[in-house]
């Protein structure tokens, strides 16, 4: 059974105002992006932007993520891995193997393209394809690095392909149910080569009222990873002019007992 998707609803925000880059013990260099930090240069890779900065590795990255809330990583996966995942997602779509995504849960689960217009296919951890395995191993290394430092009991991953056709969107929402705290970190990896800002399709993260701007738009450029606290960031997917492919995922801990 597929994990359930939350209905769009508002969320309060935290206030963040710093930025830093660093490398964790598993070799993942992470660019931390904060609300008062100017955007990174367009050609800034996660290796290049982290070079020359003297930080305390995974411990520092984890501490800053806990305190501040969201991360943007460029070139999280290499070009061959992205191409293989994009091809797989496109082939699944062509075969009709992606299903329209629902919102809500249990008896309230429903389709509503006006709220959410993508089609998805969940990954099965016991039967990953070779391209999926590359993604999964990279994300699991990140999970272990963050879990070691944050001590949040991050136990598992969940993920699915998502394809938004031209004009489709996902209304403003948050990723955690009010009665289920298992999802700690939301993640998305983009699979779109040659993406231009004119193509649209940005992930819009809504920022606190104290921030100098109301939101940050992150375009779905191939290889980019966005990571943010599931409970704390309201966000939406804006319409695009072309098919928009990604892998949406969550890093989870055990849900609290009722």
| pLDDT above 80: residue 179 | no
**Of 5-14, 93-102, 137-146, 181-190, where does mean pLDDT reach its minimum?**
5-14
pLDDT digits (tens, 9 = 90+) for 120-178: 999 999 999 999 999 999 999 888 888 877 777 889 999 999 999 999 999 999 887 76
What integer pLDDT is reported at residue 68 of this predicted model? 64
What integer pLDDT is reported at residue 180 of this predicted model? 74
For the entire predicted model, the pTM comes to: 0.78
SS3 labels along the chain: CCCCECCCCCCCCCCCCCCEEEECCCCCEEEECCCCCCCCCCCCCHHHHHCCCCCCHHHHHHHHHHHHCEEEECCCCCHHHHHHHHHHHHHHHHCCCCEECCEECHHHCECCCCCECCEEEECCCCCCCHHHHHHHHHHHHHHHHHHHHHCCCCCEEEEEEEEECCCCCEEEECCCCCCCCCEEEEEEEECECCCCHHHECCEEEECCCCCCCCEEEECCECCCEEEEECCCCCEEECCECCCEEEEEEEEECCCCCC
Which residue in the block uniquely carries the two structure tokens 């990723």? 175
What integer pLDDT is reported at residue 37 of this predicted model? 31
What integer pLDDT is reported at residue 43 of this predicted model? 34
Q: How many CB atoms lie within 10 A of CB 174?
A: 23
| pLDDT above 70: residue 12 | no
Which residue in the block uniquely carries the two structure tokens 């994300």? 139
Q: Which residues pair with 100 in a beta bridge?
A: 119
| pLDDT above 80: residue 256 | no
pLDDT digits (tens, 9 = 90+) for 24-81: 434 444 443 332 233 333 333 333 333 222 233 345 556 657 666 787 778 889 999 9
**Of 24-28, 84-88, 220-224, 248-252, where does mean pLDDT reach its minimum?**
24-28
> Which phi and psi angles does 133 have, rounded to 5°?
-60, -40
Instruction: Give the chain's domains with CATH numbers.
Output: 20-240 (2.60.120.620)
Task: Please indicate whether residue 90 or residue 211 has the higher confidence score (pLDDT).
Answer: 90
């Amino acid at each position: 059974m597929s994990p359930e998707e939350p209905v769009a609803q508002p969320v309060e925000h935290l206030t963040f105002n710093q930025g830093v880059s660093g490398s964790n013990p598993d070799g993942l260099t992470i660019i931390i992006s904060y609300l008062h930090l100017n955007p990174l240069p367009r050609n800034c890779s996660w290796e290049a932007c982290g070079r020359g900065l003297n930080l305390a590795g995974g411990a520092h990255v984890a501490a800053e993520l806990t305190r501040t809330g969201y991360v943007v990583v460029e070139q999280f996966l290499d070009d061959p891995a992205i191409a293989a995942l994009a091809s797989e997602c496109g082939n699944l779509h062509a075969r009709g193997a992606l299903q329209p995504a629902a919102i809500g849960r249990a008896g309230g689960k429903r389709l509503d393209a006006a709220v959410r217009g993508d089609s998805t296919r969940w990954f099965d951890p016991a039967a990953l394809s070779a391209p999926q395995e590359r993604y999964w191993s990279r994300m699991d290394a990140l999970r272990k690095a963050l879990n070691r430092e944050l001590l949040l009991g991050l136990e598992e991953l969940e993920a699915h392909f998502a394809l938004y056709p031209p004009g489709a969107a996902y209304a403003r929402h948050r990723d955690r149910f009010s009665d289920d705290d298992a999802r700690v970190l939301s993640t998305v990896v983009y699979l779109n080569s040659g993406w231009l800002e004119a193509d649209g399709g940005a992930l819009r993260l809504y920022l606190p009222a104290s921030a100098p701007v109301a939101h940050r738009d992150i375009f779905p450029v191939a290889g980019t990873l966005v990571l943010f606290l599931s409970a704390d960031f309201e966000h939406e997917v804006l319409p695009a002019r072309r098919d928009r492919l990604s892998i949406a995922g969550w890093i989870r801990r055990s849900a609290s007992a009722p």
